[in-house]
Chain A
Amino acid sequence: MEYFLIIISAIFVNNIVLAQFLGICPYLGVSNKLSTASGMSMAVCFVITLATLVTYLINQYLLVPFQLEFLQTIAFILVIAALVQMVEIVLKKVSPSLYQALGIFLPLITTNCAVLGVAITVVTKEFTFGLPSHMLNLGEALVYAFATSLGYGLAMVIFAGIREHLAMNDVPKAFKGVPIALVSVGILALAFMGFSGMVK
């Protein structure tokens, strides 16, 4: 039941793009076409889950015992940068087809603040999910990270669909491109606000 609440909360109630404002740059950047949007979402999903696993363990077994929590930011970003490179190398060797699908998005992910944002959030913030407030354990953290990235994918795919239609419409000159996109995301966020308070 608790895992179910985590998933609903991370995908709908606290959607990472529409409620937490993380990962907006790639969100606006690659959501022009449905195919690139879904490719990017899958790559983000993969990296967020893996990065959360590694940074959680590093925090738990290296930083906390030695009271080095103040190095969190620098340690996490280095780990993420190295991880992304490694994923790229491994994918290239092991699964060339997957590499072709995700490859071009991987270098972009290092500077996607959604990855670092989720990694820091799960080790610093207390959550409730229907229980008294507590720090997440490894299992919960992984489910949270995975569900969050699903939420990212959902927001991305919906938005790409909208943008494909927008591209064919005649919008005023000053609105062309990003401004009209932002206004549409605003309306999308308004719709997602209907979920707020559903899971505590």
Chain B
Amino acid sequence: MAAVSNLKNMVTVLGLTCLLCSAVLGGAYALTKDPIDAAAKAKTDKAVGAVLPAFDETSYESVEADGKSYNYYKAVKGGETVGYAVESTVVGFGGPLSLMVGVTPAGVVYNTSVLSHSETPGLGAKCNTDAKFMAQWEGFDPSAKILSVKKDGGDVDAITASTITSRAYTEAVKNAVNAVKKLEEKDHE
């Protein structure tokens, strides 16, 4: 059934297959590039929208705080800054834990959202689904409450059986709040 296996045949068939396949993929890549970029943009837009009050436009910048660089979106409404959405990554229980933390210029947490995590399913992964844990970040004021879990003497309710994830989450929020503090200081100089 198959063609003869001489060198000429083998090289032609392999070469043609590779050529054809890369042509197909190149075409597919060109066609899907815009939808892929749009999907990625929609994801960040959604995260930024979820952690900040209503805004007209955002700009993407970065700032140094505590020796680390943070990327953030500055949200402006009617010419006034209404908040910053800071990307904050820390080490969780199973690996990197990335959050988008919305902070108002006054330094109050507006809301938080998980960008990516590798926590244990059913335990630490609840930081992305547990309603009670997620709701406490809305309007969390670090000047009135202490930003650490209750076990460590703070005011953050940890997820049951996932203290390490809760600690990491809290640390990520704290880093974001500090980064915004730095930003505001710079603005008022």
Question: Do A and B touch, yes or no (CB under 8 Å, in the complex)?
Answer: yes
Interface residues of A (CB under 8 A from B): 70-71, 74, 126-128, 130, 132-133, 196-197, 200
Cβ contact within 8 Å between A200 and B93: yes
Binding site for A on B (CB under 8 A): 21-22, 25, 29, 68, 89, 91-96, 120, 164
Partner of A196, one of B29, B91, B92, B120: B120
**Cβ-defined contact, A128 with B25, below 8 A:** no
CA distance A70 to B26 in the complex (A): 9
Give the nearest-CB partner of A19 in chain B: B94
Are B21 and A132 in contact, with the CB atoms below 8 A?
no
Question: Chain B interface secondary structure, helix, strand, loop or mixed?
Answer: mixed
Q: Which residues of A sit under 8 angstroms from B164, Cβ to Cβ?
A: 197
B93 & A197 in contact (Cβ 8 Å cutoff): yes
Shortest beta-carbon distance from B2 to chain A in Å: 19
Selected A-B contacts with CB under 8 Å, 27 pairs:
A70-B25, A70-B29, A71-B22, A71-B25, A74-B21, A126-B95, A127-B95, A127-B96, A128-B91, A128-B95, A130-B91, A132-B68, A132-B89, A132-B91, A133-B89, A133-B91, A133-B96, A196-B94, A196-B120, A197-B93, A197-B94, A197-B120, A197-B164, A200-B91, A200-B92, A200-B93, A200-B95
Chain A residues near B96 (CB-CB < 8 A): 126-128, 133
User: How far, in Å, is A6 (CB) from chain B's closest CB?
Assistant: 13
How far apart are the CA atoms of A130 and B21 in the complex, in Å?
42
Q: Are B68 and A133 in touch, CB under 8 angstroms?
A: no
Distance, CA A163 to CA B153, complexed state (A): 50
Q: Which residues of B contact A132 (CB under 8 A)?
A: 68, 89, 91
Given contact pairs A132-B68, A197-B93, A197-B164, a sample of 13 additional A-B residue pairs in the complex whose CB atoms are under 8 Å apart: A70-B29, A71-B22, A74-B25, A127-B96, A128-B91, A128-B95, A128-B96, A132-B89, A133-B95, A197-B120, A200-B91, A200-B92, A200-B95
The CA of A130 and the CA of B95, in the complex, are separated in Å by: 9
Closest Cβ neighbor of A68 among chain B residues: B29
Give bound CA distance, A171 to B162, whole Å: 39
Bound-state Cα–Cα, A196 to B29, Å: 39
Q: Tell me which residues across on chain B come within 8 A of A70, comparing CB atoms.
A: 25, 29
* Closest partner residue, chain A, to B98 (CB atom): A133
Bound CA span A70–B120, Å? 29
